[in-house]
Amino acid sequence: MIFVFALLLGWWQASQAATQPRVSATDTAYLSCTTWTGRAWTDFTARSARTPVVESPKGFRAYAQVDIVVEDGSCQNTTSLYVASGPSGTFEVVYAKRPSDSDGNGIRLIGWSPSGEKLLAEVNLWKYETDLGFGHVPLIYNASTRSVKEIRVLDDALSRHFGGNCEFELGVEGWKGNQQIQVKVSRSPETDEYEQHFCVKEPRAFVFDLQKGSVQAGMSECQAPN
């Protein structure tokens, strides 16, 4: 099982190294139980990594942690987001992504909104033993309501913009005010597992309105020559 997985991952890394984010032994965004040394894949290893603490202008603090266990020759990631109120507040888990949702998962904290009440993060999803690439889901924690939400409608909004027969990969860039986020849309990595239809050649910038659920072209795209 481990040998077959290593062969599959080796082929996947060789074919997509130029376009895919590289799995890591330390980065919470793409923490993996096995990593590529340049010559071979490392043995499966249980790992844990956490982000630095990010503090909002209103005193809320947050960090994320990814834990990996290896069971029966399989890697299983669990991503957790912790938030505390004030400098002496206790950190509590406000969000968790478990292996049952996606055995490969990680997180990147992007930052608090200008108001200091909302934390933006990007949750990354992948499947071990495949070459299907990575999914990227914006995540927002609202400290005023103590609620957290995956912004799945962003994919739908971009699909409406480009049309249904278009494959792309999105990346979360940051805040634009308190009600909008900046995203980047790029061409998806190529795969032989299914027929792909591309409509994005170069990275394009968009702004997603959280209240309206709509996207509009970002400044860099608006200013680009025709």
pLDDT higher than threshold 70 for residue 13: no
Cross-sheet strand order for the sheet of 147-150: 104-112, 118-126, 135-142, 147-150
Q: Cβ-count burial of 102 within 10 angstroms (0-12 exposed, 13-18 middle, 19+ buried)?
A: buried
Mean pLDDT score, 146-172:
85
Q: Residue 68 in contact with residue 43, Cβ under 8 Å?
A: no
Mean pLDDT score, 63-76:
95
| Residue 58 confidence class, pLDDT cut points 50, 70, 90 | very high
pLDDT higher than threshold 90 for residue 2: no
pLDDT (0 to 100) of residue 182: 95
| Residue 204 confidence class, pLDDT cut points 50, 70, 90 | confident
Query: 191 vs 8, 29, 167, CA distance in Å?
Result: 13, 22, 12
Mean pLDDT score, 191-210:
75
Taking only the tens place, the pLDDT of each residue in 104-128 is 999 999 999 999 999 999 999 998 8
Rounded to whole angstroms, the Cα distance separating 136 from 87 reads: 31
**144 versus 20: which is more confidently predicted?**
144
Beta-carbon neighbour count of residue 211 at 10 Å?
A: 7
| Residue 1 confidence class, pLDDT cut points 50, 70, 90 | very low
Rounded to whole angstroms, the Cα distance separating 110 from 56 reads: 12
pLDDT (0 to 100) of residue 170: 86
